[in-house]
Structure 1
Amino acid sequence: MDDEALALAFERVRPRLVRVAYAVVGSHADAEDVVAACWLRLVTAHAREPVVDVGKWCTVAVARASIDLLRTARKQREVYVGPWLPEPVVTAAQIDLADPADRVTLDETVSYALLVVLETLTPAERVTWVLHELFGVPFPEVADLVGRTPAAVRQLASRARARVREGAPRFEVDPVEHHEVFSRFVTAAAGGDLAALVATLDPDVVATSDGGGQVSAATRPVKGADRVARFLLGIADLSARRGNEESSLVAVNGLPAIAVHAGERLTTLVVPTIADGRVVRVDIIRAPAKLHSPR
């Protein structure tokens, strides 16, 4: 395989590599950096000894680098001000969930709700679950990556599977239901209708804000439909009184969300997670380092 063929092979697997790294570390910017570094290591390794299976080689390299980065990040997050939320991937156009082509795109997207749940796993559990459940890597190969026996990795996967199942709403998205609930949620919030907003929320809904200590945000999660509704309406009222902010609809990790801009600057993302006809989570990202203009 010459250099041009190697580059083409890498570009074919690059989107998958970014998804692997993003699912493990929870930061799309870091995932891009990990994959860029993987290309340099691949070129060096290929010069020493030809790499036959570029996809497999790169998946191993990216997974190992992601594990190391996640362990370092976990230590940094221990001193993070307030809750830490994953970095969202924002796109300008909403995905049409009724369109089969867009459903394929959504299926290939690591959902924001899943990323939040993955934060509750240990690094070993997380990489095991991501590689095996999302990307189909066999247990023996995962065992080599995490430095455990295949039997131990199976136990890690079992624990991770149970925690993901417990913490995450079902990931299958019914397009009609999702659109209807999201529309009612947005309309009630924009209209300041407390009763209507409460009606869209699960009784045990949790709202989490991430300001990173740089902008105002709740330092603890807000729980319960009434409290979350009042909290959201308070945010909407404050935004209206500022007078220089506008809201629009975007897609975050493939599903509809609310973006707030002050001029050209994205200041806030409100990301609802919908399951069984109700909003079960509301994640509010305000940390400037995690807010990027739609792609």
Structure 2
Amino acid sequence: MNQLLDEFQRHRPRLFGLAYRMLGARHDADDVLQDAWLRWQAGRPDELASAEAWLVTLVTRLSIDRLRQAKLERARYSGPWLPEPVASSEPIEPRSPEDMLEHYNDVSIAFLTLLERLGPDERAAFLLREVFDTDYAEIAAMLDKREDSCRQLVSRARQRIEADRPRFAVSRDAHRALLARFAAAAHSGDLTELAPLFSADAVLVGDGGGKVFSALRPLHGPDRLAMLFHAIARRNGDRCRFVEAEINGEPCLERYVDGVLDTVYCFVTDGAQIREVYVLRNPDKLDGLR
């Protein structure tokens, strides 16, 4: 049993990284890995040519099945659905220092939100190829498809993702400086400081899950976003405190009201202005950060 557990644990970081990117929810990824562990125990791992390939294939197929079910659940979700955040102090999988910058991009809330536009098979093929650098022959075996079909899946997915993926090369220092300016302006509620922070095409997407107040549709434009944070500041006053935190590999802001974590804000910026704001308020999704 110890040998089985040790082997599974050795591959667990990669397996969790795949399942989390596939599902965008930590608890769903944990469920997939629990199911994979039970099947690993019940099988004959000693007869496998490659334990890692077998486990990655299993987790991929379990994640596809779970994602198909989740798509139906999310269609009934109250308002926009956003991925569940994970604190960067708990790395999704270990990376070398030279790989970390790319890691930040492929697990950010903005990127995971884009992945929601892909079908389950597309999402799996794209992640296996673009994030985990799996060759097409292996992807075909994992998905039980022809190799040329997998190439088409990846090509279509890449086109859809790249069409909407931000193309701004922004340093972490510039990103953090803009977050600090936003935190100060959002705390004061000063419209003259808030409005210039947002680009002309800025958009805000909020996820309250029907459990707390949040915008039920995306909000657009600097004036509308500035008015929203102005109203929030007037309502909360000095009860509100903003704290910078590393979420999903990038600098984000946590908002505390009366000392309790209330909201996580994740941003896409061009270095000068904020272009996208993702507002995570569903308390079930914040539990892991608390």
The TM-score normalised by the length of structure 1 is 0.86
Tell me what 2:264 maps to.
Answer: 269
The alpha-carbon deviation at position 116 of structure 1 amounts to: 0.9
Q: Please list the CA deviations of residues 27-68 of structure 1 after superposition, one character each: whole Å capped at 9, or x if unmatched.
A: 011112211221221121126x52342221111111110000
Tell me what 2:28 maps to.
Answer: 30
Q: What one-letter code is carried by the residue in structure 1 that aligns with 2:149?
A: A
2:38 to 37, 40, 47: 40
Quickly say closer, same or farther: Cα 1:16–1:225, change in 2 above 3 A: same
Greater CA drift, 273-282 or 119-128: 273-282
Tell me what 1:211 maps to.
Answer: 208
Tell me what 1:58 maps to.
Answer: 55
Quickly say closer, same or farther: Cα 1:129–1:92, change in 2 above 3 A: closer
Alpha-carbon separation, structure 1, partners of 2:13 and 2:89: 19
Checking the alignment, whether the CA contact within 8 Å between 2:128 and 2:139 is kept in structure 1 is yes
Quickly say closer, same or farther: Cα 1:271–1:75, change in 2 above 3 A: same
Identity of aligned residues (%): 35
Runs of 5+ consecutive residues of structure 1 not aligned to the other structure: 94-99
Matched, 1:284 2:274: no
The alpha-carbon deviation at position 262 of structure 1 amounts to: 4.2
Tell me what 2:147 maps to.
Answer: 150
Q: What one-letter code is carried by the residue in structure 1 that aligns with 2:25?
A: S
Quickly say closer, same or farther: Cα 1:52–1:143, change in 2 above 3 A: closer
Quickly say closer, same or farther: Cα 1:107–1:192, change in 2 above 3 A: same
Tell me what 2:16 maps to.
Answer: 18
Alpha-carbon separation, structure 1, partners of 2:24 and 2:257: 26
The alpha-carbon deviation at position 187 of structure 1 amounts to: 2.2
3-state DSSP of counterpart to 2:212: coil
Quickly say closer, same or farther: Cα 1:171–1:43, change in 2 above 3 A: farther
Checking the alignment, whether the CA contact within 8 Å between 1:266 and 1:292 is kept in structure 2 is no
3-state DSSP of counterpart to 1:90: coil
Q: What one-letter code is carried by the residue in structure 2 that aligns with 1:51?
A: L
Q: Please list the CA deviations of residues 135-158 of structure 1 after superposition, one character each: whole Å capped at 9, or x if unmatched.
A: 112222222333432212211111
Alpha-carbon separation, structure 2, partners of 1:171 and 1:124: 28
Q: Please list the CA deviations of residues 195-238 of structure 1 after superposition, one character each: whole Å capped at 9, or x if unmatched.
A: 33222222211101111111111111001122122222322332
1:4 to 2, 11, 14: 2
How do residues 189-268 of structure 1 correspond to structure 2 at under 5 angstroms?
189-240=186-237, 243=239, 245-262=240-257, 265-268=260-263
The alpha-carbon deviation at position 193 of structure 1 amounts to: 2.8
1:129 to 126, 131, 145: 126
How do residues 47-196 of structure 1 correspond to structure 2 at under 5 angstroms?
50-91=47-88, 104-105=99-100, 107-109=102-104, 110-170=107-167, 173-196=170-193
Alpha-carbon separation, structure 2, partners of 1:172 and 1:36: 38
The alpha-carbon deviation at position 89 of structure 1 amounts to: 0.8
The alpha-carbon deviation at position 291 of structure 1 amounts to: 1.0
Checking the alignment, whether the CA contact within 8 Å between 1:131 and 1:142 is kept in structure 2 is yes
Quickly say closer, same or farther: Cα 1:5–1:275, change in 2 above 3 A: farther
3-state DSSP of counterpart to 1:281: strand
Tell me what 1:96 maps to.
Answer: none
Alpha-carbon separation, structure 2, partners of 1:101 and 1:174: 19
The alpha-carbon deviation at position 92 of structure 1 amounts to: 6.8
The alpha-carbon deviation at position 263 of structure 1 amounts to: 5.0
Alpha-carbon separation, structure 2, partners of 1:123 and 1:185: 36
Alpha-carbon separation, structure 1, partners of 2:26 and 2:155: 27
